[in-house]
Amino acid sequence: MDEFLNREYYGPMRLYHICYLPLRTHKKDEVVPTVKNDCFRGELIQGFVNDEAAAYLGGISGNAGLLLLQRMLQRYIRCCLMEVK
């Protein structure tokens, strides 16, 4: 699913820093932790989905949150707004 989205959706919009598993392409110190104290895994969650169901599926699923840079979110919103017009 992540490869399809990158190829067909995010790539054409030049959203190169949006992904499900950022540690595949970024250094850990470039990824902000999402959960400080996770009862499910008992550790700091950084670079991996914190949703338990998505975690069981390997971190790539429709209910998993995408991780992205702020400027990528801004670009995505601009692209969506242009589509609406």
Q: How is the chain split into domains, by residue range?
A: 2-77
Given a contact cutoff of 8 angstroms between Cβ atoms, the answer to whether 52 and 37 are in contact is no
pLDDT at 72 over 70: yes
pLDDT in tens, 14-68: 887 788 888 888 888 888 887 776 677 777 888 888 788 888 888 888 777 777 7
Given a contact cutoff of 8 angstroms between Cβ atoms, the answer to whether 45 and 38 are in contact is yes
Q: Is the dihedral of CA 48, 54, 57, 63 positive or negative?
A: negative
Question: What is the Cα gyration radius of the chain?
Answer: 14
pLDDT at 38: 60
